[in-house]
Amino acid sequence: MKVLVLNCGSSSIKYQFFDTVQKIALAKGIVERIGMSGAVLNHSRYDGDSVSIVGEILDHTVAIEYVLAVMLSKNHGVIEDKEDIDAVGHRVVHGGEAFTGSVLMTPEVLKVLQDNVELAPLHNPPNIKGIQAVTRVLSDTPQVGVFDTAFHSHMEPHAFLYGIPYELYKRYKIRRYGFHGTSHRFVSQIAADQMGRPLNELKIVTAHLGNGCSMAAVNKGISVDTSMGFTPLEGLLMGTRSGDIDTSIILYIMGKEGLSLSEANTLLNKHSGLTGISGTSSDMREVIDAMKEGNKRSKYAFDIFNYRIKKYVGAYAAAMGGIDALVFTGGIGENSVDVRTAVCDGLEFLGLEIDTEKNERKEIDLSKEGSRAKVLRIPTNEELVIALDTAEIVGEK
Ligand code: ADP
């Protein structure tokens, strides 16, 4: 089956076009600056051919039309007819409590997504726009929603409830949802394959470390806990997000600095994390470079980042009663030798022993010979999961 995977943001659309039998991307690209001047589509094909198209891309519908036009084009295309797209899979950030797995898009599902907009005010509206745009442009092509939250939807109340009045959970659905679920699901399965053991026998801690960072405790294939919560703000230190914080601090700063709700939100989501502490950058490479040049604040940022991950490894090993593997993924997890080294330093008591040379060579299995638990580096591929889920659901239709 040929599946177009879309990740629709407020002013951008990332896409990949998959052959789900061969599990390869035939084309991929991004439309940026939708609705602004200087909108551009950058498209590349599996054979290395690439093209940049500048245009007046006023909204998501026009953006999808541009994507289709380039996919159909003689010089840069990969299909001959619109009908060659068998299905469209959407990354949808928030499924709320309604979705425990990927679903075929119907007017009823779209309505539930619209009802969930308050839970993800930044992410769900552009996801919905993308679904509506595809309906306009590709009318009858089936669409599937794959939710960032779904993999975590089997958490027990003791893991997902917060210590606030229970009525607030009932009234406003305030609970831990977790995000990056598609990535945690994918890498935990690949980890089991790599270990040659069934997933349903394993206790795996997954660390997705990108611009946003989260961890999950995956016990027998089920996410039993995860570090992001009601929103993606909670948990690990991230590029620009604070992660865990004593909530009183927010009230205190709001009082001291006279911040509005929205300014406080921006402070915690955009000016905190690696950026806020280092004063250098939200980009881990730049933080590490500055640290190696002796910048003290960058060293604090690096140390806090790794220390938090380490604490969560311990917490999740305790939550699951053991650990068989620690998986690193995401831009930082896959690439940073320094982060993996610092996180694993001192975790030998859990049976996690990292091999320095394998770590530097960026192998998949980074564990020392004889290490009781595995340290793994597994590149994530959320788009492929979305394509495969879509093919499976549409195939069943
Ligand atoms: P996103 O969450 O936006 O998908 P990525 O998963 O691509 O982001 O991760 C981006 C992060 O990965 C950035 O902090 C970047 O510095 C980091 N990164 C990429 N390559 C390296 C590297 N070689 N060493 C350290 N960090 C890296």
The pLDDT value given to residue 396? 66
The pLDDT value given to residue 164? 98
Q: What is the mean pLDDT of the chain?
A: 96
Tell me the average pLDDT across 280-291.
97
Token pair in block for residue 22:
């061969």
CA 251 to centroid of ligand 1, rounded, Å: 32
Summarize pLDDT for 49-100 with one digit per residue, the tens: 999 999 999 999 999 999 999 999 999 999 999 999 999 999 999 988 989 9
The pLDDT value given to residue 116? 84
- Residue 90's nearest CA partner among 107, 77, 108, 103 is 103
Tell me the average pLDDT across 36-49.
96
Tell me the average pLDDT across 160-173.
97
Q: Is 285 in the pocket of ligand 1 (CB under 6 A)?
A: yes
Tell me the average pLDDT across 246-266.
96
The residues annotated with a catalytic role in the active site are 148
Summarize pLDDT for 292-307 with one digit per residue, the tens: 999 999 999 999 999 9
Q: Is 204 in the pocket of ligand 1 (CB under 6 A)?
A: no
Q: Is 333 in the pocket of ligand 1 (CB under 6 A)?
A: no
CA 263 to centroid of ligand 1, rounded, Å: 27
CA 384 to centroid of ligand 1, rounded, Å: 19
Q: Is the pLDDT of residue 38 over 70?
A: yes
Q: Give nearest CA residue, ligand 1 atom 7.
A: 331
State which of 284, 305, 306 you would mutate to test the pocket of ligand 1, scoring each by most atoms of that ligand within 8 A of its C-beta. Answer: 284
The pLDDT value given to residue 146? 97
The pTM assigned to this predicted structure is 0.95
CA 226 to centroid of ligand 1, rounded, Å: 20
User: Edge-to-edge strand order for the sheet containing 203-209?
Assistant: 222-226, 213-219, 203-209, 325-329, 374-377
Tell me the average pLDDT across 91-110.
93
Q: Give nearest CA residue, ligand 1 atom 3.
A: 211
Which pLDDT band, with edges at 50, 70 and 90, does 120 fall under?
A: confident
Q: Is 332 in the pocket of ligand 1 (CB under 6 A)?
A: yes
The pLDDT value given to residue 122? 82
CA 298 to centroid of ligand 1, rounded, Å: 16
Q: Is 211 in the pocket of ligand 1 (CB under 6 A)?
A: yes
Tell me the average pLDDT across 223-241.
97
Q: Is 273 in the pocket of ligand 1 (CB under 6 A)?
A: no
The pLDDT value given to residue 121? 83
Q: Give nearest CA residue, ligand 1 atom 19.
A: 331
Q: Give nearest CA residue, ligand 1 atom 24.
A: 336
Q: Is 9 in the pocket of ligand 1 (CB under 6 A)?
A: no
The pLDDT value given to residue 389? 97
User: From the alpha carbon of 286, which atom of ligand 1 is closest?
Assistant: 16
Q: Is the pLDDT of residue 159 over 60?
A: yes
Q: Is 330 in the pocket of ligand 1 (CB under 6 A)?
A: yes
Tell me the average pLDDT across 211-236.
97
Tell me the HSE value of 395 on the side-chain side, using a 13 A CA sphere: 11
The pLDDT value given to residue 397? 57
Domains and their CATH numbers in the chain: 2-147 (3.30.420.40), 197-377 (3.30.420.40)
219, burial (CB in 10 Å: exposed 0-12, middle 13-18, buried 19+): buried
Q: Is 135 in the pocket of ligand 1 (CB under 6 A)?
A: no
CA 286 to centroid of ligand 1, rounded, Å: 10
The pLDDT value given to residue 242? 98
